[in-house]
Chains A and B, each alone.
Chain A
Amino acid sequence: MSRSALAGTRASLCALALAFVVHAGAARADEPALSDDALVQKSHAALAAGEYGSALDALEALADRGVLHPGLSYNRGLAYLMRVRASAERPGDLGRAAAAFEEALRLAPGDRDAEKALDLVRAEVTRRRARKGGSGIDARPTIDRVIAGLVSDRAWTIASVVASFLLAIGLVFRRFERPARAPSPDGPRPAGDAAASGPAHPLHVAGTVLVAVSLVALLALLPIAWHARTLRLTTHPGVIVATEAHLTDDTGRTLGGDPIPEAAAVEVGERRGAIVHVRWGAAEGWLPAASVRVLP
């Protein structure tokens, strides 16, 4: 090796060592916990600078702390999409974005931006599945879920209680009897003689109708309200945040059937250790908890 080459090598090694020394700041310090407001500001600044990694750290930390705001959820979805667009996508990013937009819509149902973003994410998932040769999967909910989901469980509860009150009012009204008539000079009339008692009291008629209608309504509303309340207490909405999710039984055996696509909305039930019970349309089974994001 010539002397000049040796000198060059030495210089390179020195530069390498210097670079290590310079960048080995090895800054080792306690990290004070940022306040919620500081995290929000940090996420805004990071998003504006295109630093989606930092933005995601801040927004996920806010979500972990239970800070709920439709704007933050929306920004979190955008940050995940930024990562997708920056070719740094990680498996499940589209699902995580969809979960964030779903969350934003749950918090602010009229958010058109979130609706549009969610549509774009789901369309992209469908496009990717189609590109891979997968068919479009339409998961139809069962009739009980459809009915219970028509309105909120609060609405079903209120309707049931109202029906119950109407039934009570009808029962009371039915007690209003026919107006008494002057006794006949010919003595008492035989039983069953309609003319003897005169026309029925209007409240009695109203009560009779009310009892019949409200009883039917109560019998119909009560099980729906009960079911909707049970679903609300025992299940949560969730979104698949894995590229695909295959349902298994609780021992881990695959159930077969179509895999649940990324970003699909599911109903999440019981959790056992690292697996959760999931219902997708009429299909139900268990999934790794990490493949589902439960919405607040």
Chain B
Amino acid sequence: MRAAHRTSSLAILSACLFLGVPGAAVICAPGTAIAQTAPQVTAQLSESEVEVGEPFTVTLKALSEDGSVASDPQIRAPSGFSVSGPMMSTQSYMQFGTGGRRILHGIGATWTLVASAPGTFNIPAPSVSWNGQRVQATPLSVKVVPQGTLPRRQPGGFLFPGGSPFNSPFGSGWPFGGMDDDDDGDVLEDPGLTLPRAPANDVFLHARADKKKVVVGEQVTISIYRYRTRTGFANVDGVGRPMHLQDFLRYPLLDDAGSQIMQVARAGSKKFYVRLLDKIAVFPLRTGTLHTGAYSESYIAYNRRTKLKRSTQDLVVQVVEPPAENRPLGYRLGDVGQFQITSLVQPRRVEQGGSVAVSVKVTGTGNIPTSLRMPEKTGVEWLDPEKKESLEARGDDIVGHRSFGYVVRLTTPGTVDLGTVELPYWNPRARRYEVARSKLGTIDVLPSKTPPPAPSASASAAPDKDDPFAGLPPPRTTLSSYSAPAAAQLLPGARFALAVAAPPLLALAGIGVATLARRARARFAGRRSSPRTLALEALRDAKKVKAAGDERAAAAAVERAIILAIEAASGVKARGVLKEALASELARSGVAEPVAARASELLAACDRARFDPLAAADVCIPDAVALVDDLLKAKVS
């Protein structure tokens, strides 16, 4: 029996290799007779016992010898189960038996189920539609146990939630043993993938751009890697969400994205298994700080309870214009790479108003332009081109060609030079501008018997009533000397406010200063003519004339000083008051009585000295000075 089994297995393997159908397996279960007409429908559980919340799959296969088409696979899950899918596949099997060899064809459908409560559940038989009726498989039974009850399982395939749909009865992974991600026996560590630190300990994504600063249209190659530990996660949940790359043109560089050979690299101090998930060439469309967005994936953790979501970093690329220096005429932003131009013009002789075909092919590497600037001129009409392209990834470069097929109408007879088609571009490797050129040559345009109306190139042509610009003045062939007007603003910034505010403010300030000066002058003049000043001046005069021996003049001066001092002290004009009443008048005005009495006496002495020269000697200057001083102090007090 065991030998028979081994023989059967070898036969299955050779059948798979012969058919070359990935994932093919052989069904050799006894008693599965295949009807000639209806397909054979089988259903299979990935696990007969699962935990609550643990995804498992139900795989349905509908196979027939005659290739009858079955469709619309359906499953009705028990209540409390969530179902996703089905994921469809085509199936081809070869069966060996005593009756000879049979080849079966059909479809496969895989659902992913998750139970929410423990218990034993019967899953009604999944079915397919065939020939207007539904053909059912057998019902299935699954036991659901509480979380954490079952031992940890080995992970399934990356891309198949709940495990590979191609599980065979000969054990997980067969016949592709040794392809498990965790098998790193032959995997070498790649120092180029080493990261200084790991953003997560189980699984994370990392994106890498080969350039951080480029010019508009220059290629940036982005590589996306998945780093995972041996126990990083169980399965990838769904399809990864790509980077948005909204400011870039993108081209894939990998045909087999996601199935690259796994490598080992360190992130921080930990070893990770690294797989290149995708590699894309992107071409920035504008200047600025452009963001690629993040690539993200979701995973189902080994504990089957949680989902992990991981994203790459949002790559930032600084995009600038290529240098303005030495920029050739007609350069358009984005034309970056290394290009050549070839052209073909046919025919070379045409009647006026006829057309020729001009085919221009741009080949090269980089951001091959999507349009060309053709040598436009009067009498040559370039119609919109028909474009063809063939671009492919070669290594990390996008190479290929774009062809532009123009129909050119010639409206002017004679030998018409079509000119040269030029493509200025920035060569990022040489870091300089280059120009790809191709001469288009000349066309002999034979005059037509009925020449079409050609648009005139200059205003010297006769005015055409259909041409709204027929009367335009001609171009300027010489340029007169011209100096651009001063662009600077008059009185920029705060100078304008200063210029407006300063004149009236200065005028007001000047007026204020003048007013103050005038008041000061008036105050000074008033002070000079005040009784106090005059009194002191009279005393000085008295001293002078006393010294000169003129006693009468000294007495008169003393009298004047006292009268002015009385006026300064009390406001009383002593000359208008009777001598007898002066003392009481002064006392009423607030002058101390002794001082008033002394003033009255000294005035009387002065009066006497006016008529009696001998009495003049009685007028004592120091007494007068003391009196004046007392009077003025009295005023102050």
Contacts and interface: CB of A to CB of B under 8 A. Distances in A.
Interface string B473-495: 10111111010110001110000
B436 interface: yes
Contacts of A274: 286
A185 interface: no
Given A24-B340, A47-B475, A51-B375, A57 B329 contact: yes
Contacts of B484: 68, 107
Nearest to B341: A26
A23 B358 CA distance: 11
Interface string B446-488: 0000000001111000000001110111011111101011000
Nearest to A21: B342
Contact of A28 (B373, B435, B455, B467): B435
A164 B472 CA distance: 49
A175 B504 contact: no
A24 B438 contact: yes
B330 A57 contact: yes
Interface stretch (A80-88, A138-146, A263-271): A80-88
A120 interface: yes
A25 to B, nearest CB: 5
B465 to A, nearest CB: 13
A52 interface: yes
A116 B457 contact: no
Interface in B297-332: 325-330
Interface residues of A, number: 79
B608 interface: no
B382 interface: yes
A172 B472 contact: no
Given A124-B468, A124-B469, A164-B500, A29 B434 contact: yes
A272 to B, nearest CB: 12
Contacts of B346: 19
A74 B476 contact: yes
A54 B506 contact: no
Given A31-B434, A222-B500, A51 B376 contact: yes
Given A107-B484, A175-B514, A160 B344 contact: no
A26 B340 contact: yes
B479 A71 contact: yes
Interface of A: 16, 19-20, 23-34, 39-40, 44, 47-54, 57-58, 61, 68-72, 74-75, 78-79, 81-88, 107-108, 113, 116-117, 120-121, 123-124, 127, 153-154, 157-158, 160-161, 164-165, 167-169, 171-172, 175, 218, 222, 225-226, 229, 232-233, 273-274
20 contacts: A16-B344, A19-B346, A30-B435, A31-B435, A33-B326, A48-B475, A48-B477, A53-B376, A54-B377, A57-B329, A71-B482, A74-B476, A86-B381, A88-B382, A116-B471, A120-B472, A161-B491, A168-B507, A171-B508, A229-B496
Interface of B: 286, 288, 325-330, 340-346, 373-382, 419, 424, 432-441, 455-458, 467-469, 471-473, 475-480, 482, 484-485, 489-491, 496, 499-504, 506-508, 510-511, 514
Given A19-B345, A27-B435, A82-B378, 8 more contacts: A23-B342, A24-B342, A31-B326, A32-B326, A70-B482, A85-B378, A86-B380, A232-B489
